[in-house]
Structure 1
Amino acid sequence: MSTLEEHIDINVPLETAWACLHRAETYPRFLNGVRQARAAGERRAHLDVEAGGRAQEVQVEIVDREMENVMTWQTTSGPDLAGTFSLLPIDRGHTRIQARFEYDPGTIKETFGGPQGFAQAVAIERGVRIDLQQFKELVEAERTAK
C-alpha cells in the first residue's frame, strides 16, 4: 500500500468544514472524477466515478471519530481504496484539513489506467491537492453566500 498525505488551510470554522464534508451530494463539486454521489444509509455513500475514461460505481463506508474530528472512509465495492480526513482548528474561523489517501498502485493502474510508478504517484498527489483546493473554494463560497 502507498500512502499520500496533503493538507490545506480553510477560512471557515471547523464545524462548517465538517458539515460540508459529510454531505455526499457535494462530492462531485470538489472530488474530480465523481460524477454523482448520494448517501446510501447512515454510514455509506454511493459514488458514480469516471477516471481514465472508465465509469464505475463505488460504495464507500464512512466512520467518524467526532471527538477527534476525523472522518475515515473505505471502499466496500470497486477498487480497494481508503483514506482519512482530519480537521484541526487553527482558530475560531480557520481550519486545517489533512487528507490521507491509501492505495495500491497496481489497483489504481488496473482500475483507472494512466501512468505507473513515480508518474502515477505525482498524478495522484496533484489530484488530491486539486480536490482539497476545490473543497476549500466550495466551503468558503458557501459560507460567504449565507
Structure 2
Amino acid sequence: MTTKVEKTIEVNVPVSTAYNQWTQFEEFPRFMGGVEEVRQLDDKRMHWVAEIAGVKREWDAKILEQVPDRKVAWAATDGATNAGAVYFQPVDTDRTQVRLSLEYEPEGLVENAGDKLHIVEKRAEADLEKFKSYIEGRGVETGAWRGTIHEGRTLGTPGVEYAASSMGDDGKAGVSGTAFPADPADPRRNF
C-alpha cells in the first residue's frame, strides 16, 4: 500500500536561500528527525541512513530533476521504497513557500502500524518546521549547488513507480534498539 504525504510551509528567506540550503543534502540530519546520515555520492546520487517508526532503514536515492530555485525531485534506487519532490515558490522577495510531496511504501508490521498512526506525515511536518527554524536562524545557506538535472524529461512529482526497482529493503531494515511504542501518548516519541 502506497502512502502519500503533502506538506507546505513558508520560510522567511529569499527563494534562492531556501533552495540552496535544501541542496546541501549532507546537512539534512541537522533538521530532519530520524535521519542519521545522508552521504552525497555524486551530483545525482545519495545514500541515506534513517530511523523511521522505530525501524532503521538505508537506501540509495537518485535526483531525477533539479531546477534551481524551483524543484528537487528524487526516487530511491535501492533499499526503502520512496520518491517525491520539494518545490520552492517565492511569496515575495524575502519569503518562500516550500512544498514537500512524498510517496513511500511502508514495509513490515512496525512500519505499517506507524503508517496508520501517520508517523511519517507528522515527521514531515515537524521536519519542515525545523527547516524553517534552521534556515531562518542562520539567515544564509551553508552552501549551494545550482546545477540542473533533467533525466530526459520534465517530471511532475515522481511516485513510487519511479522507485519500482528498489521494492524491498534488501535486508537493510531492522527494528532499532531505540524503537518506541506505537502509543501516541508515550513520552519517548520525538515528533
- Structure 1 length as normaliser, TM-score? 0.84
Distance 1:67 1:125, change over 3 A: same
Report the structure number with the largest CA radius of gyration: 2
- Corresponding position of 1:77: 78
Is the 8 Å Cα contact of residues 88 and 97 (structure 2) preserved in structure 1?
A: yes
Residues 1:131 and 2:144 are matched in the alignment: no
Q: Distance in 2 between matches of 1:64 and 1:23?
A: 16
Q: Distance in 1 between matches of 2:133 and 2:8?
A: 14
Q: 1:72-100 CA distances to partner (integer Å, 9 max, x unpaired)?
A: 01111111101110000000100000000
- Corresponding position of 1:113: 111
Q: Distance in 2 between matches of 1:136 and 1:116?
A: 25
- Corresponding position of 1:56: 57
Report the Cα offset of residue 69 of structure 1. 0.6
Is the 8 Å Cα contact of residues 5 and 103 (structure 2) preserved in structure 1?
A: yes
Is the 8 Å Cα contact of residues 109 and 116 (structure 1) preserved in structure 2?
A: no
Q: Distance in 2 between matches of 1:12 and 1:83?
A: 23
After TM superposition, the runs of 4+ consecutive aligned structure 1 residues lying more than 3 A away are: none
Superposition pairs for residues 2-41 of structure 1, below 5 Å? 2-41=3-42
Report the Cα offset of residue 64 of structure 1. 3.1
Q: 1:48-79 CA distances to partner (integer Å, 9 max, x unpaired)?
A: 21234333321111133416711101111111
Distance 1:15 1:144, change over 3 A: closer
> Where is the helix percentage greater, Structure 1 or Structure 2?
1
Distance 1:123 1:116, change over 3 A: closer
- Structure 2 unmatched runs, 5+: 143-191
What is the SS of the residue equivalent to 1:17? Answer: helix
Q: Distance in 1 between matches of 2:46 and 2:109?
A: 19
Letter of the 2:113 counterpart: P
Is the 8 Å Cα contact of residues 17 and 140 (structure 2) preserved in structure 1?
A: no
> Where is the strand percentage greater, Structure 1 or Structure 2?
1
What is the percent sequence identity of the aligned residues?
26
Q: How many residues align?
A: 141
Is the 8 Å Cα contact of residues 50 and 56 (structure 2) preserved in structure 1?
A: yes
